[in-house]
Amino acid sequence: MELKDLTAQLLDFPRQMYEAEKKAEEAHERWLVAETKHTYDYSRAFLTNKASGLNDNQAKSQATVDVYALKMEVVKTESAWRRAAADHRYLENKFTAIRKIANLEEAALMKLGAPTGA
């Protein structure tokens, strides 16, 4: 790959990384909202079950059953957040690698006395 191609890629990376970071932040926010809703609904279900005469263990067990679907939503949103964060890290690592390759390529061209074109 030529230096000008590497430079062109490097110019586009900030936008790509911004978009990936934005997606990761949005996914993190969705996870936080789902986690908060689950915690609230679990607590509410526990108190409702406790008020109906169940002991603590029975109330906890029933509350877990009552909010199972919400717990699955929490798991899905956390997984989506972690995947989005991994995508962002991938772009950051790729940017760093291409930047280093471009620097090496430019240094090699300078040693040969060739114009870098960058």
Q: What residues does each domain of the chain span?
A: 3-112
Query: What's the predicted TM-score (pTM) here?
Result: 0.79
Is the pLDDT score of 76 beyond 70?
yes
C-alpha span between 116 and 72 (Å, rounded): 54
Q: How confident is the model at residue 116 (pLDDT cuts 50, 70, 90)?
A: low
Q: How confident is the model at residue 1 (pLDDT cuts 50, 70, 90)?
A: low
Average pLDDT of the residues in 18-29: 97
Residues ≥6 apart with Cβ < 8 Å to 66? 41, 42, 45, 49
Residues ≥6 apart with Cβ < 8 Å to 58? 49
Among 21, 27, 25, which Cα is nearest to 91's? 21
Model pLDDT for residues 80-111, shown as the tens digit of each residue: 999 999 999 999 999 999 899 888 888 888 88
Contact 34, 77 (CB under 8 A): yes
